[in-house]
Amino acid sequence: MSANHSVLDPLKLANEDGHFRRPASKFRDSVSPDSSAPFPAERDRYVLYISYGCPWAHRANIARSLKGLEDIIQLVVMGNVLTSDGWLYDGTHGSAAHEPLYGFTNHSQLYLKADPEYKGRYTVPTLWDKKKETIVNNESSEIIRMFYSAFDELLPAELREANRPGGGYYPEKLRKDIDSMNEWVYDTVNNGVYKCGFAASQEAYDLNVVPLFESLDRLEKHLEDRNTKYLWGDHITDSDIRLYTTLVRFDVAYVTIFKCNYKQIRYDYHRLNTWLQRLYWGEDETKGAFKKTTHFTPIKEGYSMATRSKIVPYGPKHPIMPLNPGM
């Protein structure tokens, strides 16, 4: 790593009271199917910037793959070193050696091209408009919902949201339930692991680790009560995509690196583990999108670096447990 870049100090991510609080994303525009909109859906106009280690970026990459948008939206992958200037381009683990449009070496340069006065963190995912040379959006939950339907007119009929089994990834009949679950899962699970891992005091850690496992217990009970393949039935929805990127990292990184070690998904949550295996190993409705976008080495290395550890955990032996026969 260049001497001009310093790895972020995790203690500086917490507030003075020791609690980690994630700042809101700043770029919140939308791609629209309307050709007269400020950001209309067009082939090869937009670029998705990600890092393989980041769960928020992983959501967007899964949605891009599930929807068959690989030939419509360009993907740029950065390395897994997060610095004060954002993610770096270093060519490791299949990432780009440099930014392909402008030759940038770190992610802050893209943000500052969009807004030279920008003050804040240089996060991923980042959706970039090549025509207007600006950031459209850097909020993962909004980007994935754009991907569900905004580009549908450019896709074959069978890939369009309205024609998907179950009514799509964000079906009208389930939106209230999906939004309700997403809210508490975000606070206590998706972001909850970060509240534990980046806590700067014992009190802050204790106040967040208990709600994390209470929510995992609640999700386990939800699957038990419903007895369905996925969280809201027999088809993948927005809630499955948002939860997957946290749980696939749980035993691999959060148990050890973020000290979320009270229970493990593979041993203590039978239904969540089966759900996770089904998404990762599945080839039917998943189209292999969850497995091909999951990269365990950058995940472990990235979190180790994020906590300023020089040691990357050796295990677990199986990053995700083998598929159960007949599952």
pLDDT tens-digit profile of 110-129? 999 999 999 999 999 999 99
pLDDT at 66 over 90: yes
Q: What's the distance, CA 256 to chain centroid? A: 20
- Separation between Cα atoms, residue 183 and residue 163, nearest integer Å: 27
- Separation between Cα atoms, residue 163 and residue 171, nearest integer Å: 11
DSSP state of 166: G
Distances (CA, A) of 152 to 110, 129, 141, 147, 241: 28, 18, 18, 8, 19
pTM of the prediction? 0.93
- Separation between Cα atoms, residue 197 and residue 190, nearest integer Å: 12
CA nearest 169: which of 144, 190, 139?
144
- pLDDT (mean) for 130-159: 98
DSSP state of 23: P
- Separation between Cα atoms, residue 138 and residue 146, nearest integer Å: 12
User: Tokens standing for 44?
Assistant: 């090869």
What is the pLDDT, as a whole number, of residue 25?
75
User: Tokens standing for 277?
Assistant: 């295996």
pLDDT at 271 over 50: yes
End-to-end Cα separation, the chain, in angstroms: 44
- The values of phi and psi at residue 7, to 5°, are -65, 140
Per-residue pLDDT of 5-17, as tens digits, reads 656 555 556 666 7
pLDDT at 156 over 90: yes
- pLDDT (mean) for 10-30: 72
What is the pLDDT, as a whole number, of residue 2?
47
Q: Is residue 227 very low, low, confident or very high in pLDDT (cuts 50, 70, 90)?
A: very high
Distances (CA, A) of 154 to 40, 85, 264: 12, 35, 42
What's the CA angle centered on 282, arms 185 and 191, to 5 degrees?
A: 20
How do strand 86-87 and strand 46-51 relate by DSSP bridges? unpaired
Q: Is the dihedral of CA 227, 228, 229, 232 positive or negative?
A: negative
- pLDDT (mean) for 45-54: 98
Catalytic residue chosen out of the listed positions 54, 88, 146, 241: 54
What is the pLDDT, as a whole number, of residue 3?
46
User: Tokens standing for 165?
Assistant: 């089994």
Per-residue pLDDT of 84-94, as tens digits, reads 999 999 999 99
Please give the sequence-ordered ranges of beta strands (E in DSSP) within 32-153, or none if there are none. 46-51, 74-78, 82-83, 86-87, 126-129, 134-137
Question: Helix (H) and strand (E) counts for the chain?
Answer: 11, 6
User: Tokens standing for 255?
Assistant: 């148990």
As a 3-state breakdown, the chain gives helix, strand, coil percent values, each rounded to 5, of: 45, 10, 45
CA nearest 308: which of 106, 92, 6?
6
R_g over Cα of the chain:
19
Nearest-10 crossing angle of helices 140-149, 55-66: 0
Q: Is 54 tagged catalytic?
A: yes
Nearest-10 crossing angle of helices 238-249, 175-185: 20
pLDDT at 4 over 90: no
